[in-house]
Structure 1
Amino acid sequence: MQAFKVCCWTLKIWMIQLALVLSIQAQDCSRPTGGPNMVLSDSFINRDTFTNGEQVSFVCSTGFVSAGGSRSITCTDGVWSEVKMKCKIRSCGSPGEILNGHFEFPDGIEFGATVHTKCDVGYILVGSGVRTCMSQGWSGRVPICEAVMCGPPPDILNGGLVTPPGEEYKFGDVVVYTCQKEFTMNGTSSIRCSENGEFQPSPPTCISRTWDPAAAPPGFSAQNCSRPKGGPSLILSDSFIYQDTFTHGASVYFVCSTGYVSAGGSRSITCTDGVWSEVKLKCKKRLCGSPGDILNGQYDLSEGIEFGARVYAKCNKGYTLVGSGERTCMSQGWSGRVPTCEAVMCGPPPDILNGGLVTPLEEEYKYGDVVVYTCQKEFTMNGSSSISCSENGEFQPSPPTCISRTWDPAAAPPGFSAQNCSRPKGGPSLILSDSFIYQDTFTHGASVSFVCSTGYVSAGGSRSITCTDGVWNEVKLKCKKRLCGSPGDILNGQYDLSEGIEFGARVYAKCNKGYTLVGSGERTCMSQGWSGRVPTCEEISCPTPVVKNGVRFEGGPPPYKHLSSVTFRCNSGYEMNGQATLTCEMNGWSADVPSCIGVGIHVGEERLG
């Protein structure tokens, strides 16, 4: 009976203790909510409940970057600590410089903004002129503004060869016409390649001054000619393609078909009493020449470099192709641009349980780089100690494992049971390696490793600790803020480095006098280096002012740089409306470009006659 009472009291005490334990058990946390423009890291997005003491981390949403503050929070008895990280919209910096053109920035240079290309007069855009600020920088590539080209000038009936002869002419080029013997020119002898790719004004005509049907012998009637046929790869010039009948004495011209160029011989033939003279012009396929040199790669030229041939880019081993690798020889040259072969890169190598630091320790490794593993004391390596960054961007072969060589449960004293360890906590700016973040309990003899938090790098000391009978040894790893080094040199400008060059610091670009900043001038030291790109300081210049019916009176020719001046005066019979002298200032000309109005005509009226 006495034994039964003792048993009952023991049971009651045990139940009371169990109730107390249940009543003071720490509370779990539900899924946390971050601040504006941030989301949970991928490791946690599929979880709804987190245990007491567990840490989670946030990352900035797509198009946003960290503006400072810790990205991790901790669950303490059902309550999350405050999120310190702030996110700001990403700035893409300068979209680059366009030769013979410029970008317009209606939306700025932040994430989601678009910039638009505008080519200078006489140049035409090749490809898309719109770039968008994306999460990884500007979309596409810096566009190209190519010179406007005109084809051969129009042929004229009974005209000689134009001077200078050519297959192509660039914007502004002038050609001069002549007439054959016994023909007189009607109209201007010279025309110019205009900005729309056509010659202006219309070409002259050649009028006969000798053929007089009334003076022909009695009964003579010269025969007309039908449309002539050329040789291989020849076609009639545009001036004659709609004409079916040509009079005695008329001359026509042939040109080479698209993709062909002249190999010599006169391109004109003449109709004489119903018969065409022989076509002397010969044409051959156009050669596109070299398609360019590919850094860390080469072209397959097996199809040759003539019109219609294709070449194929091939990158060297360890490099990967960016963009299209195929180009075609077209009538104007090679299609597309020279592609890029970028080095294959691998991220950090996998961590191994009970392993030491790999050597060398880097954030990124290029193709062929080798890292070497070590095991901690009392552990033996199983497998190869070294792995290398392979051409597919992953380390090969699989990393080794570290096997304990000291702990032998059979040799432990009778009744001894080593204690497990709970999740360890590191020092300032330290976090557990990814291999261990989901583990809450670690067995006796197990080792884990720490890494420095984002924006910090090792300042020395072992990054691994070991569990011995329920107790972790001391963390020796120390971390310091990452140094981003120089943000680069700005041509015609410099940086304000008053905040330093450590993680989180910002630098501000300032241009020299007479230059203006293109793109964002602010850069931040991030975990991977400086954000954005080195900005551009462009020399301040103003567009060439054009005054119709007027001439430049004082001041030099274009280009017009900062503080340069130009003065205009109107031609005879016109008077000036506006300011005659303009000065190039920071934001453009000091006044609107003037106009020259016919004497007696009010602004807004049209000149009669």
Structure 2
Amino acid sequence: MRSILVVFCVWICFSVDASTPNADCSKIPEVENAEVSQSSRKDNYTDGDKLEYNCKPGYASPLKITYNCTDNKWTKLRGGNCSLKRCELPEDIPNGRYTIVSGSAFVFGTTIKYICNDDYQMMSRFDTRTCQEGGWDNQLPACEEISCVADSTEENVRVEGLPENDGLIRYGHRLTFSCSDYGWILQGPKEITCQSNGQWSGPFPKCVGATCPLNTAVGDLKMERFPDIEGPVKPRHKLIFSCNTEGLKLKGQREITCQSNGEWNSPFPKCEEVMCVAKLTVSMRSDRHPVPEVSVRPGHTITLSCVGRGVKLQGHSKITCLSDGQWGNPFPKCIGGKCGPPPKVNFADTTEITKKEYDSGEKVEYSCFNKYTLVQRHPYSKYLTCEHGEWRGNIKCLKPCSVTVEKMDERGIQLRWRGREKIFSPHRDRIIFSCKSGKSSTGIDLTQTCNDGEMTLPLCV
């Protein structure tokens, strides 16, 4: 009997010890509308471990929800329930609007972002607000009209374009600058534009005293200053030139003046060897010089003659070059005679069928190709005239401007009044462009004029 009791006791004791490991904290408590925080997660929990819960998006609890594993059981230490939290409908702001960045229905955790209307900029430090327990965080932002501040300028800088009564300088407004005093030049941009970021397109310029460059490496050129002083050459100062070597003559202006823009009114002259130059006409020949322009040194004599049907020499056939570069006798002429067919002219053609031969005094009329513009101011006209066996006159056709759709797309522009066809506009034609949607001009005028095939295209970015 005693042995039976011992066996029974052993069985009972063994059974109690074996059941103890099942009473642990392996099962995590479920909390409505909440999840265990990432920092609390682990594979096994033992006595003394803690669990922290975070409310799901849109829910909030006044206290942090915390459980503690004690005596192999989870016990709630603190915290309430995660309940749905909402904020009041967001307020609109003048000259702006808001959009939801994250969340929905303006519940707890929802973030909204405020955006200013076109031509307005955000002036507040924060442009977002988030729904918290106590409502929306951050103050309402403010949008103000985009404007630029006119920096102070020096006394001798003249500014045009400033609004009256210190009015607002809005986006796109332009200022132009010039120097108010003679002898000063503008250092910096002549024009700046208020940009969409409230900044000027360039710095405010300054006016600095103008000086003209003095080139001392002039070889055989003798240079005298007036007034005869050292230092920078200022506006109204002059230089007088001469050649200091015999057999040389001055080519260019003998006297040049420094202008108010820091540039000379004429280029520096040069000293060149004295030569007599004869430009031969089509019907004139020189005995030893088959080229149309003859250059000989003083003392040389050339013999001239005329060629062509009915052409005669008027004047001396022999002329000698003098020491001053002039001919000893007046240069002769070839008179009379007939002309052959009229010459070809770039971008133009004759209006009538041409002949093989023309008498002196006959004219031939030309017209420019389509879209090309004929220049008729002196020295140009629409006629060439046969004079003593030569065609005389000047004809010039100005080229049109051509701009492709691809080029306009590349510059971010389009035609304001036309479709997307290729531009083909004659000289002096005015073209009005506009920026494509979402782009703004960099400051180049959107109205441009064709000038002999050249036209500056605006740029919009």
TM-score by length of 2: 0.28
Structure with bigger gyration radius: 2
TM-score by length of 1: 0.23
